[in-house]
Chains A and B, each alone.
Chain A
């Protein structure tokens, strides 16, 4: 502990100042990561708190290499997605209906204000369909398509192979297409008509 504090690149005051600044700036981004990933039964406040606690411990242990704002946001998004996935898996084990969009229903008001009600409705439908997928497919799809993480980062967060990431995304898209495929209309014959 003594050695660690001696070799720490920042003083405690600097760490606290950096932490406060990062919290204020990145809080909303972290919540936006957690909300769709953790599922409708999640406690976003608690997960956000756990994410920042982990971040604080990393700062204290001098595990954070890149302290520029973009790097810190990337790190926080990774921690938050890991925490959200853990929370989703924990709630998925309980017999509750997880097929809903977001834990915060009022978020759709903002989406509707910004992108229009039709887009908000479409996003809600998309998320509901994604929530019907199996946890592996759902998580891979959201990390790749919603958060835009690279294959490497997604594989690292989920603890799977890179090839499995691509395969999971492909499978998830196939399932989504199948889920929402419209039944074909019966063929109408026009026999017996007059020429």
Chain B
């Protein structure tokens, strides 16, 4: 699994999207999709300055399930906060987290995960990439948030991308 050629992965997922969008396996669409996706992949290759090198497919799948579980759990947590008392609602704030992840694609995925999970929003990375600022809706236990982000999301991402 080491070093997937990312262009192939990109082409394959684009092809999958094309067939899904047309909802068909008709031979004409399959050929057209193949031609289009290869053309798009070659045409945009120059616009992607660096290639992602994801490995460890199983770690990625495990991370996906962890994130879906967290999204479901924190949906109800945030719903509780919104419906709760004024005191619970005005408990938000910014916090800083030290970062070890360096790969830009890994950071992009981490940004998507943090923002997609209700209750936390990615608010920026410092210029040297060592400190991450996030905004948290329920900021009671900063340590717990640092632990969640570092062990649940950052560790697997470092495994996948570095």
Q: Tell me, yes or no, whether A binds B.
A: no
Q: Which A residues contact B (CB, under 8 angstroms)?
A: none
